[in-house]
Structure 1
Amino acid sequence: MTWTSMTQNPEGLVSVYQGTVPPLVGVRIHAVSLDRDGPRLGLRFDLPEYPAVAPKKWQLHGYDTVQVELVFSGLRDVELRGFSTQLSGDIDLVRGKALTVSVSTDSMRLSAVAESAYIAKMSAYLNGTARTASGGSEG
């Protein structure tokens, strides 16, 4: 089961990646947020690969990185250990009776249990370090 299949609204991201969204391995994590409304956990991160054929708007701007904000709603439990300004690691989603998310980096461990997940935002920007296909700020 892919991570996108465990979200409520994967269509836009799946379309941009023409059906093959990269796994959440080696992602750069920009933000971890908790919100009592929901309650919710938010993760904002860069995907490890850029789409082979990016949207025209992204191509015109020369973007090279896709950023996703993934929100976990109906948060029941969360544990966070450590943090850093340089967070790069893996995000793992497991669907059981609830949705479990685990984030593992060299300096941080996060685990949470939620009812559901959705893609709150998908954008692209010029990071300046093209990692795969050509293309790639907010779009």
Structure 2
Amino acid sequence: MLHWTDLLTDKKKLMAIYGVNLPSLDKVNVHEVIFHRDGPTVTFRVDLLEYPSSPPKKWIENKFNTVQIRLSCSDVKYSSLHGWNHTSFVASIGLNRDGELITLALNGDGLSVCLKSAFLDVSSISAYIDSLH
């Protein structure tokens, strides 16, 4: 079965942090959805549920407990957003290949995003202290 990271342009960033135990996109905390005309690109800033078993030294020293990624879909061919009328969203993201395109479906309570794009990338990965964690 295809793991979502197999659809990434380059999964080395995630593998450097998580090793072979790559995270899922289930129950992510959605902070931001950015629709940008360049590309066009849609970027999701989300907190991952899983924390790496061997995080970077800097993360350990700073007692970070939450990993946040920016998942970018570029050369977007189709997109739709429904909801976004709350201040907190927990959602699951499903990714599949549909011919030459990647289909993304984000679904959560009060938020739904669907899109098709040519490329998928983790544009950044960071960590922070989530006091609610």
Question: TM-score, structure 2 length as denominator?
Answer: 0.94
Amino acid in structure 2 at the alignment position of 1:46? D
Q: Find the residue that maps to 1:75 and give its secondary structure.
A: strand
Q: Find the residue that maps to 1:25 and give its secondary structure.
A: coil
Amino acid in structure 1 at the alignment position of 2:19? Q
Higher-strand-fraction structure: 2
Partner of 2:116: 113
Structure 1 residue 99 displacement after superposition? 0.4
Structure 1 residue 123 displacement after superposition? 0.3
Partner of 1:127: 130
Please point out which of 89, 92, 95 is paired with 1:93.
95
Partner of 2:10: 9
Equivalent residue runs for 1:72-91 within 5 Å: 72-83=73-84, 84-91=86-93
Given that residues 83 and 111 in structure 2 are in contact (C-alpha distance below 8 angstroms), is that contact kept between their aligned partners in structure 1? yes
Q: Which blocks of at least 5 consecutive residues in structure 1 are unaligned?
A: 131-139
Partner of 1:135: none
For these two proteins, the number of residue pairs brought into alignment is: 130
Q: Find the residue that maps to 2:79 and give its secondary structure.
A: strand
Q: Which blocks of at least 5 consecutive residues in structure 2 are unaligned?
A: none
Structure 1 residue 122 displacement after superposition? 0.3
Distance in 2 (alpha carbons) for counterparts of 1:118 and 1:27: 17
Identity, in percent, stands at 30
Distance in 2 (alpha carbons) for counterparts of 1:121 and 1:50: 16
Structure 1 residue 52 displacement after superposition? 1.1
Amino acid in structure 2 at the alignment position of 1:99? I
Given that residues 64 and 129 in structure 1 are in contact (C-alpha distance below 8 angstroms), is that contact kept between their aligned partners in structure 2? no
